[in-house]
Amino acid sequence: MLREVDRWLAVELRLIRGSRVLDIGCGTGEDTVELAALVAPDGCAVGLDTSEVMVHVARRRAAGRGLPVEFRTGCAEALDLPDGDYDACRFERVLHHLASPTAALSEAARVLRPGGRLAAFEPDWTSLAITGASPAVTREVLGMRSTAFESPDVGARLSHLVAEAGFGDVRHHEVHLETTSLHVAVRAFRLESDVEAAVAVGAVSSEAAIAWCETLAAADRAAAFSAQVRGHLVCGTRLAGWSTPASS
């Protein structure tokens, strides 16, 4: 499902040979390398991440590929990049980690040329639902989403935030992400962290948490488990004659 999201983002960036594209929150750089292949040989793909470790891994993996790609550390809310230097900018599951998605989107608008493209994907973690165990305990466990991410509901607000940041022709697509595999859900949705947080704050007892996990495992074996969340894909075009407002 997330590979389909990546393909949608790449299409909406409208990259051509020679484009300069910025991938904010690049992680280990696999997607940035794929973007570099789309703009080669005359363009450039720049991956940016706050983690020096991720940037080191990305550089190592991209070495020897012969692609126009570079990686650097940086903060999405305060990019150390010149105005209007890029043709496209990509966010993929990054904004929910930020206390101020507005600042990051405004910075993206600043470094894009007029007519440049933005494409972003964010889940709305407040919509996460799980079936297969006690609804009461599930509600308490999933309530930890509000503390797991700085902006857990940014997906639902994304199209509005993008428009406010200086983008026109804003288009929004809602996607339904679902898995019937407990193993996938635990990894993709970080359920173990939610369970640990719920126990730590006293929202559920250790005994109730263990029973909840065991019940989910039984539901998984009986093909009665599911986890689902709404995701939001948003794209827009950097408006001409727009000035970046003060970050908030």
- CB-based burial label for 73 (10 Å; 0-12, 13-18, 19+): middle
Radius of gyration of the chain (CA): 20
Say what angle helices 191-200 and 182-189 make with each other, to 10 degrees.
70
**pLDDT tens digits for 225-236?**
999 999 999 999
Q: How many CA atoms lie within 13 A of 82 on its CB side?
A: 5
Quick check: 218 and 131 in contact, CB under 8 A?
Answer: no
Q: Which of 69, 19, 23, 67 is nearest to 48 (CA)?
A: 23
CATH class for the region spanning 2-238: alpha beta
The token pair at 159 is: 């199209």
C-alpha span between 47 and 172 (Å, rounded): 24
Quick check: 39 and 17 in contact, CB under 8 A?
Answer: yes
Q: How many CB atoms lie within 10 A of CB 78?
A: 11
At residue 243 the predicted structure's pLDDT band, cuts being 50, 70 and 90, is low
**pLDDT tens digits for 161-201?**
999 999 999 999 999 999 999 999 998 888 999 999 999 99
Give pTM, 2 decimals: 0.90
pLDDT given for residue 247 in this prediction: 39
Mean residue pLDDT across the chain: 94
C-alpha span between 209 and 137 (Å, rounded): 8
Helix (H) or strand (E) holding 39: helix 30-39
**pLDDT tens digits for 74-114?**
999 999 999 999 999 999 999 999 999 999 999 999 999 99
At residue 246 the predicted structure's pLDDT band, cuts being 50, 70 and 90, is very low
The token pair at 127 is: 């919509």
